[in-house]
Amino acid sequence: MEKLTRSGEKHSRFELKTLLETSRLLIESRETDFVLNNLLLITMGKMLVPRGAILIQIPGKSEYIITKIKGKSELSEGDTIKIPWGANDFESIVIDPVELDLTPPELFSGQNRGLFFNLKTSNHHLGYLYLSRKGNDQVLSAHEIEFVESLSIISSVAITNSRMFSEMREINRKLDRKVYELNTLFDLSKDFSLMVDRDKIASTFKFALLGQLLIRKFFLIYRPDDKLELMASSGLLRNPNKTEMSQIFELPDDILDLQDEHYKLIPFLKENEIAALAALQMHGKKVAVVGVSKKANKEDLAQTDFNFLQSLGNLAILSIQKTQLLEERIEKERLEEEINIAKTIQKGLFPDTIPEIPKMDLSARNIPSDQVGGDYYDVVQTPDGNFIFAIGDVTGKGIPAALLMANLQSMLHVLLPVDITLGEATGRINNLIHENTPSDKFITFFWAKFYHSESRLNYINAGHNPPLLLRAESDEFEELSEGGLILGAMPTMASYEETDVTINKGDILVLFTDGITETFSKNGEEYDEKRLKKAITENRELKADQLLETIVNDVKEFSDNQLSDDLTLIVIKGD
């Protein structure tokens, strides 16, 4: 009797160890298929059962998918069966159809005298683990049933965890895709804003569409007024004629996926394998239609693809419209007059005199190019006796850029007396710009408040070239880049982040617009940030105004005095 007891204890300890090891294996797994496969194989192998299956419920239905099945059966994995009882009809995890006088689904011909183990969590029913009787037709013992029951509970948790992980992985994948698409659209918006050639705009749109969505056949029909134009196309057997373009344009705006009725009405669409249409609107009016085929891998376009397509199309159309406006101004011979007006506006943005700031030697300057840019800087004293200095750059050039920067200056000065933080003020400015300017106009902006009694600089960078901070006893530069998105890109969703740095004696802080680093030599070489850092380091002993003048002369000499953009600099030295 003592030997049997010790043997039973040893057997129990072995099963407990097996259960613990299996539990760890299943819980740590992040793959549902791995959990289900191991649950079936382990229970069948442990119980010496020749037939088994795992049935996973189709959500909201009494139907189950045979996910795993072992043993001779007419059914296969992927088949669907119905189970005649409800998941919540019994309190016990173990369901014995023979004992309960139930008619089970026929998984194995003539061999349905097995047990169903309910796979569930505290809140959800997942499915069933089915195990037949043993090979010698013996039923499972109470001890064996208890073992399988425990393993079923653990596996249910593991299945739920793996599903949650899969969902989170899919959500993260979609978020990564969104971030990538947003970054792509931001980059393209900068490119489009600088383009004034319609062919280049169409070409950029084409390659962005082909590269991003893997679409090989498409067309873009544009109607600025009452005249239809084929702006861009790729992979078509032939271009649509005027009648076909008119028919396409007259289709309802909400059409995405094309149906047989559309192909019958406009055979051109079927001939060229166009699968979907997307209407582009400006100010509530349809101005363009994009037709696209399926992807190169034959996949249909998802809603996120259509969103990207429409955003990309809107950027292209905005750029085309901007180009048309420029062409109209040239035709009316008013460009020179407008440039002079814009220069006057821009000149009025800058402060007449720079206030003296305790513990700080500051010098600022703007050197206009032949064209009118959107550069801006300001240095003002706040009502509490401290000082604000700011620098900004509007995308594009001309009157729109100058007017937008004038609006920024007025907003800044209106908010100065208001007792709010830089972060709150930046959020308000961003919302005003976003609500009152076209979607293709953005402002890179950096501003800071200097608390001279503490030598503390509180700053926000809204997508501007990070100012360069060189400490007195260091050759390494710090970049002041913390803050948030460029102004006007989208409504303020999260507050702009404020950051503090100290400006000690001998420290040098240089604020600049991209006109400095993106100046080109005759050979097409860019001045870049590396040269700017070198100019600062080699002349660090100079006063602020001398250092500023040295940098400007270096840029002019590098470009042979041929400036394509405004140069704007603020040089600060701790005093």
Tokens of 440: 């293709």
Supply the pLDDT for residue 11: 47
Closest to 94 in 3D by CA, of 112, 113, 111, 116: 116
Q: What percent of the chain has pLDDT over 70?
A: 84
What is the pLDDT confidence band of residue 3, given thresholds at 50, 70 and 90?
very low
Pinpoint the alpha helices (H) of 214-295.
242-250, 260-265, 267-271
DSSP characters over 450-497: EETTTTEEEEEEEBPPPPEEE-TT-SPEEE---EESPBTSS---SPPP
Tokens at residue 368, please? 């206009």
Are 510 and 569 in contact by the 8 Å Cβ rule? The answer is: yes
Number of helices followed by number of strands (H, E) in the chain:
14, 21
Look at phi and psi of residue 368 and say left if phi exceeds 0, alpha if psi is from -120 to 50, else beta: beta
Among 87-96, 483-492, 511-520, 554-563, where is mean pLDDT lowest? Answer: 87-96
Task: In whole angstroms, give the CA distance from residue 142 to residue 144.
Answer: 5
Q: Which of 510, 430, 431, 435 is nearest to 466 (CA)?
A: 510
Q: 95 has which bridge partners?
A: 116
Instruction: Tell me the average pLDDT across 153-177.
Output: 74
Would you give the distance in Å from CA 213 to the centre of its chain? 15
Three-state SS at 396 = coil
Per-residue model confidence (pLDDT) at position 8: 46
pLDDT at 70 over 80: yes
Which region among 4-18, 425-439, 456-470, 481-495 has the lowest average model confidence (pLDDT)? 4-18
DSSP 22: H
Beta strand pairing call for 276-282 and 468-470: unpaired
Give pLDDT, residue 65. 92
Judge contact between 551 and 532, C-beta under 8 A: yes
Choose the most confident range, by mean pLDDT, from 278-282, 364-368, 422-426: 422-426
Average pLDDT, rounded, for the chain: 83
Among the ranges given (106-120, 180-194, 425-439, 489-503), the one the predictor scored with the smallest mean pLDDT: 180-194
Q: Report residue 282 CA to chain centroid gap.
A: 24
Q: What is the reported pLDDT for 389?
A: 93
Q: Which amino acid is at 473?
A: E
Question: What is the arithmetic mean of pLDDT over 212-236?
Answer: 82
Mean pLDDT, residues 276-285: 80
CB atoms under 10 Å from CB of 80, counted, come to 12
DSSP secondary structure, 277-328, as one string? EEEEEETTEEEEEEEE--BTTSPPPPHHHHHHHHHHHHHHHHHHHHHHHHHH
Q: How far apart are CA 153 and CA 497, in angstroms?
A: 47
Q: What is the pLDDT of residues 309-319, one digit of tens each?
A: 777 777 777 77
The answer to whether the CB of 309 falls within 8 A of the CB of 292 is yes
Per-residue confidence band for 6, with pLDDT thresholds at 50, 70 and 90:
very low
Is pLDDT at 59 greater than 60 in this prediction?
Answer: yes
Least confident piece of the model among 197-211, 398-412, 472-486, 544-558 = 197-211
Residue 116 has pLDDT above 60, yes or no: yes
Q: Centre a 10 Å sphere on the Cβ of residue 319 and count the other Cβ atoms it contains.
A: 26
Whether the pLDDT of residue 5 is over 50: the answer is no
CA 482 centroid distance within chain: 19
Structure tokens at 272: 């060229």
| β-sheet bridge partners, residue 477 | 470
- Classify residue 285 as exposed, middle or buried by CB count within 10 Å of its CB (0-12, 13-18, 19+): exposed
Section 237-261 average pLDDT: 84
DSSP code of residue 72: S
Q: Domains in the chain, please, with CATH?
A: 2-162 (3.30.450.40), 195-331 (3.30.450.40), 342-574 (3.60.40.10)
Choice between 158 and 542, residue whose per-residue pLDDT is larger: 542
CA distance 349 to 380: 12
Q: What is the pTM of this model?
A: 0.45
The answer to which of 263-277, 315-329, 447-461 has the lowest mean pLDDT is: 315-329
Among 114, 127, 108, 125, CA closest to 54 = 127
pLDDT at 242 over 50: yes
Q: What is the mean pLDDT of residues 420-443?
A: 89
Where is 96: in which H helix or E strand?
A: none
Going by C-alpha positions, the residue among 59, 60, 80 that lies closest to residue 69 is 80
Tally Cβ neighbours within 10 Å of residue 373: 28
Mean pLDDT of 221-235: 82
**pLDDT at position 12 over 60:** no
